[in-house]
Amino acid sequence: MARLLASIVQILVPPTSRDRIGHRLMRLLIGLLLYGVSLSLLVMARLGIDPWDVFQQGLARHTGIPIGTWAVLIGIGVLFLWIPLRQRPGLGTVLNVLVIGTVMDLVLAHVTPPTTLPARLIALFGGVGLNGVATGLYIGAGLGPGPRDGLMVGLAARGPSIRLVRTSIEVTVLLIGWRLGGNLGWGTLLYALAIGPLAQIFIPLFTVRPIPDANAPRPAASPEG
């Protein structure tokens, strides 16, 4: 078992993130669990959800397959698009695909959605804020990006800016999802405007810092006077 775990770490964890692996894994799992809960809150608020979930909800309404299961299936599909882009998944990438959608299905199946507008607004704002915290935790763990983030980075490495690639992808899935009946609303706009600033706050806050190398040469002391 120990050898299997060591092999997984060697394959799926970049060398720069192999220190404090238990701490990193704990932050990753907490972040992914909270991410799934945050997206569930947005769905239950029924005031607009993030672009990818608009797409996944539209597919769910036409197929009867739950939105979280669609998140898992689309995550797997996006990973196949990494192959020609020569992107390498990490442990965080694999767990991202499996955990977030599963958590969404569990929460949406067992939690009664709010019915009054104030409660729905609390779910919406709570979901957006929690999503920012969750993003900081799972990205800050340094164990690999989510499948959609990796697709964005891989395409941007071919020339276009990250901003153009991300906007193009998210507008495309948003429009398709809206045509399929996904919940596009002002909550979608709130998410789009808020997630960047929130990530900018929480990613540095929750980033796991590498342990300093005790054998690394220290900088020479500056001469006095």
Terminal alpha carbon distance of the chain: 59
Residues 6+ apart with CB under 8 A from 190: 48, 124, 125, 128
CB 76 within 8 A of CB 100: no
User: What single DSSP character describes residue 116?
Assistant: S
Three-state helix/strand/coil letters over 37-61: HHHHHHHHHCCCCCHHHHHHHHHHH
State the Cα–Cα distance between residues 129 and 204, nearest whole angstrom. 16
pLDDT tens digits in sequence order for the chain, 225 residues long = 556 555 555 556 666 566 668 888 999 999 999 999 999 999 999 999 999 999 999 999 999 999 999 999 999 999 999 888 888 888 899 999 999 999 999 999 999 999 999 999 999 999 999 999 999 999 888 888 889 888 887 888 888 787 788 888 889 999 999 999 999 999 999 998 898 899 889 989 998 877 665 555 555 554 444
CB 56 within 8 A of CB 67: yes
pLDDT value at residue 12: 62
* pTM score, whole prediction: 0.86
Structure tokens at 14: 């970049």
In the chain, the amino acid numbered 7 is S
Residue ranges per structural domain of the chain: 19-206
